[in-house]
Amino acid sequence: MSTVDETEHETKLKDHINEIVLSDDVQRAIEQVLQSSDPLDQPDFNPTDYINQLFPNEQSLSNIDEVIAKMECDISLIDDNIRSVVRGQVNTGENGRVALREAQQSLTQLFSLITDIKNRAEKTEDAVKEITRDIKQLDSAKNNLTYAITTLNHLHMLVGGVENLKHLSERRQYGEVLNPLQAIIEVNQHFHQYSEISQIQTLSAQVQQIQSELATQITDDIKHFFSPTSHSNTNRMSLTQLKDACLVASVLDKPVKKNILKWYINLQLQEYVQLFHENQDIAWLDKIDKRYAWVKRHLLDFEEKFGTVFPADWELSERITVEFCTITRDELTKIMARRRREIDVKLLLFAIQKTANFEQLLAKRFNGTAVEVASEDRERKERHSFHDLIGSCFKPYLDIYTDSIDRELAVLIDQFAQQNQQLVVPKEINPGVIPNCADLFVFYKKCMVQCMQLSNEKPMYDLVLIFKKYLREYAARVLEARIPKPQQPTTTTSSISSSMSLLTKDFQNLSSAAGQVIHNFLKEGDTPRFSVEDVRKICYILATAEYCLETVQQLEDKLKEKIEPSFAAKVDLADEKDVYHRIISNCIQLLVHDLDTGCEQSLLLMTKIAWHSISNVGDQSGFVNQIVTNLRQTVPVIRDNLANSRKYYTQFCHKFVNSFIPKYINTLYRLRPTSTSGGSSTSTASTLTASASSSSISDGPNGAMGASGSAVAAAGNIMGCEQLLLDTHSLKTVLMDLPSIGSQVQRKPPASYTKVVVKGMAKAEMIIKVVMQPVHPAPLFIEQYLKLLPESNVVEFHKILEMKNVRKIEQQQLVEAYKRACPQPQQQQHHTPAASTGGENESSHPTPSTSDASSSGTSHQSQQIAAAAAAISGAGSSIMALGDSLMDKGRIKKIENLIKNRLPN
């Protein structure tokens, strides 16, 4: 066994050795070179699969000899190719060895040549050095000789020049001193490296002594020339000598020139200091222009007399001016600190303006090169070197200016508020904005430009804070204060009491009395609405707030651009923009609420129609006509007055439909458009009530009972649903056209608006269609409900069942079936049912602060009306049922008390 195992192992080993495994890169390279489609050339060649492909069945074995012959032929061809390749590789190896030997020989020859060249170069360099050895020595000797001759010449100049300078300086021949002095100073600097030589030290000391004597002498001569007593002195220098002396002083050490300039500038400004001393009346700010007039006049006199005497590079006029500015700034600082209470804004602005004009004149006249650091806390650029050179003394007092702006704006806002006591909207269709709004921002621009001329640092930031303050003041006192406010609704107690007498006064005409009571409640309970003038006024204020909002944004950008960068991050008018945003939102909400109020009575009328007793479907109902009339009367006025505020008009339309459609759906939930044969006594009572309030009520108790009978006979009637569906579709069409209603130019409403209307009114239509479906069988009804109202919940399902007058027991069963059929997440949705349309509106669209009282009063009044109507309806049905047996006065009194007790307090 061991021998057999070894044999098998050796066989496997040989097979493994014979198997050639190529890497992926090698295989891809072979495929690129040998592009073949033969299966034998594929890397994943499988012999078994190949044979099966050649001989798929027994019949194919008939040509096996041909296949074998072809294979043998291919094998012989491959062998020939292998032999030729092997022979070629043998020849290639031999050729490579020959080429290698030739390359090695070439490298050896090249190395020998390089070595030979290097040796020759070294020999050549030695020969050149030998040839030029004498030349280098001669060149070095020449340089030394030249340097020695130059040094001797300098020494000769120094020795002779010292003696010559002494004689020239004693005779004050400054014109002849200039050139030798410059030469001697340069030569003396050349001998600093030989300062250890005693003779050189002596000569350098003599040069220093001559410079010192010249400095003292020239300084004394200049002072003597300009002294008041020198005009009669015969030893006084001439203008030519003075000019030469100044040139010599420029050559001497810098302190000499600096001291002369300082003395002379002080001499020139001595008169100014005495004339404008802080104790003099002429020194106060109201005469600041006299200071500048004095220096202008003095500079003209100086340049006329001595402009050509002093060297141009001394820039004496500019130096005098800079010193004048420095003295003026210091003097003004002291006098303003002492008399601060006497400074008012007019005086301050006068002084600042005169100073700014003078500084601008100086910047044009001089190039600023002579200006040194006149203010230690600020570096000055060359172009603006004179800017704030004097004016910086006024910066600590700019709060006087900002305080005056504060006072002026307070007066301006008071004027605007008084002008707006009786805000009159222009009669044109598009009135624009309130004029005083533009006046306010023109004043802001004027203040900003003026403050930029004064300072763009802290005073500008203080001005920003003042702007913020009065932007809020304008919003509150001019815009918000003039927004019309709806009148508080009058209490309905007196109306209820007077209406009660109709019930007790004449029981002979009981049904007519009940109808009259309901009519009085509808008439007397109307919520006060805005007049057309008030609506235009609201639009007027909205357009003004929009203009303010846009202008405030521009003002903020401009302030950030102009103010000092360190203060730019603090400039933020976001709170003020929010104020105007709030005014715009408030105006839009008031317009929506007003239009909504006009639709409330129509929706209330909708609940009083006996929908279940409708026998045929006709034109759209009266409440739809009332809503359309309300929209046609109000919306065009708003659209025309917001012609320049299209985005806010579109926002108004959005908010209205978002408020109206939920109210309409809630009103649908309150209707009972169908009747069922198994209805309870409650549905019969509501039938009697609705019939009593309709226009077809017959006088007398017999007529009432006849209406009741017809309602009961119409069990299962869905004509009311069909009429509601028609009315809903009509309302949907009107709402889709709301942005262009009453306009000759029809515009396509925005897609977002169309989406809201379609989604909301589609839900109303689906509710009506669900109500039209029969309750039995229950699974089919629930299936239809989920199909038509997929986003509904249990609360809405309850409301649908109430609309169909389903009995309580059946409702519980249907709700359980609905919960089983409805997805679990949908059951957990929480929609708080609104008790009234007003509650729906308050939860989804909170009203602004200015209309809170009005809105709450309106909602409360609507609830009173609904409760009173329900009480009267219930009382009317009870009276109609018991009218024949309650004719005595005692029982009538009891009924009257009963009705009063059921009415709201």
**173-194 exposure pattern, b = at least 16 Cβ within 10 A, e = fewer:** ebeebbebbeebbebbeebeee
In this structure, is the dihedral angle defined by the CA atoms of residues 17, 21, 26 and 27, taken in order, positive or negative?
Answer: positive
Packing angle, helices 345-365 and 316-338, rounded to 10: 170
Rounded Cα–Cα distance for residues 490 and 526 (Å): 10
Task: Encode pLDDT of 736-783 as tens digits.
Answer: 988 888 887 778 888 999 999 999 999 999 998 988 888 888 889 888
Q: Mind listing the pLDDT tens digit for each residue in 233-273? A: 556 677 777 777 787 777 777 788 788 888 888 888 888 88
Q: Using CA atoms, how far apart are residues 866 and 710, in angstroms rounded to an integer? A: 26
Neighbours of 212 (CB within 10 A): 13
pLDDT of residue 471: 94
Q: What is the DSSP string of 550-585?
A: HHHHHHHHHHHHHS-HHHHTT---HHHHHHHHHHHH
Residue entry with tokens 């032929």: 73
Question: Residue 648's closest CA among 544, 556, 719?
Answer: 544
Helices 701-713, 852-882: axis angle to 10 degrees equals 100
- Contact at 8 Å (CB) between 630 and 602? yes
Q: Which residue has the tokens 């504060």?
A: 406
Assess contact for 694 and 590: CB atoms under 8 A: no
From start to end of 402-510, where are the E strands?
none
Residues of the chain with pLDDT under 50: 1-2, 4, 13, 16-17, 373-384, 489-525, 677-715, 830-892, 894-896, 898-905
What Cα–Cα distance (Å) separates residue 412 from each residue in 403, 438, 616? Answer: 14, 12, 67
Q: By the 8 A CB rule, do 750 and 703 touch?
A: no
Question: Token match 């239809």: residue?
Answer: 784
The label of the residue with tokens 């004693």 reads: 170
Write out the H or E segment, with its range, that includes residue 757. Answer: helix 751-772
Is the whole model's pTM more than 0.75, yes or no?
Answer: no
CA distance 169 to 220: 13
Tokens 């309750």 -> residue = 775
For residue 529, the SS3 value is coil
CA 203, 161, 158: angle at the middle one, nearest 5? Answer: 45
Q: How far apart are CA 590 and CA 666, in angstroms?
A: 22
pLDDT at 404: 92
Tokens standing for residue 511: 């049904």
User: Mind listing the pLDDT tens digit for each residue in 466-485?
Assistant: 999 999 999 999 999 888 87
* Structure confidence at residue 490 (pLDDT): 44
Q: Do residues 73 and 86 lie in contact, with contact meaning Cβ atoms separated by under 8 Å?
A: no
Specify burial of residue 443 (Cβ count, 10 A radius: 0-12, 13-18, 19+).
middle
pLDDT at 452: 87
Alpha carbon of 468 to those of 187, 415, 465, 472, 803: distances in Å? 72, 19, 5, 7, 56
pLDDT for residue 229: 64
Q: Rounded distance, CA 389 to CA 380, Å? A: 9
Query: Which amino acid is residue 687, in one-letter code?
Result: T
pLDDT of residue 318: 86
Question: What span, in angstroms and rounded, lies between the C-alpha atoms of 330 and 283?
Answer: 12
Nearest-Å Rg of the Cα atoms of the chain is: 56
Q: What angle do CA 181, 184, 187 make, to 5 degrees?
A: 155
Tokens 């009218």, residue located: 883
- Measured between alpha carbons, how far is residue 846 from residues 262, 585, 849 in Å? 78, 11, 9
Helices 751-772 and 719-736 cross at an angle (nearest 10°) of: 180
- Between CA 188 and CA 181 the distance in angstroms is 10
Q: Read off the tokens for 235.
A: 């030893």
* Residue closest to 648 by CA, chosen among 578, 543, 509, 771: 543
38: left (phi over 0), alpha (psi -120 to 50) or beta: beta
CA distance 881 to 705: 8
Whole-number Å distance between alpha carbons of 83 and 537: 109
Residue 698, φ and ψ in degrees, nearest 5: -90, 145
| pLDDT at residue number 277 | 87
User: Please, are residues 380 and 437 in contact by the beta-carbon 8 Å criterion?
Assistant: no
Residue closest to 505 by CA, chosen among 864, 879, 869, 866: 879
In this prediction, residue 267 carries a pLDDT of 86
Q: Which residue has the tokens 């904005």?
A: 433
DSSP for residue 381: -
With a CB cutoff of 8 Å and minimum separation 6, the contacts of 504 are: 892, 895, 896
Of 596, 656, 599, 624, residue with least CA distance to 725: 624
What b/e string do you get for 250-266 counting C-beta neighbours within 10 Å, with b at 16 or more? bbbeeebbeebbeebbe
Which helix (H) or strand (E) element contains residue 453?
helix 435-454
- CA torsion 391-392-394-398 (nearest 10°) is 120
Task: Specify whether the CB–CB gap between 325 and 389 falls below 8 A.
Answer: yes
Q: Which residue has the tokens 């050349």?
A: 190
Q: Which two tokens stand for residue 752?
A: 């977002």
**Helices marked H in 227-287 — which ranges?**
239-251, 254-275
> How many other CB atoms sit within 10 Å of the CB of residue 57?
7
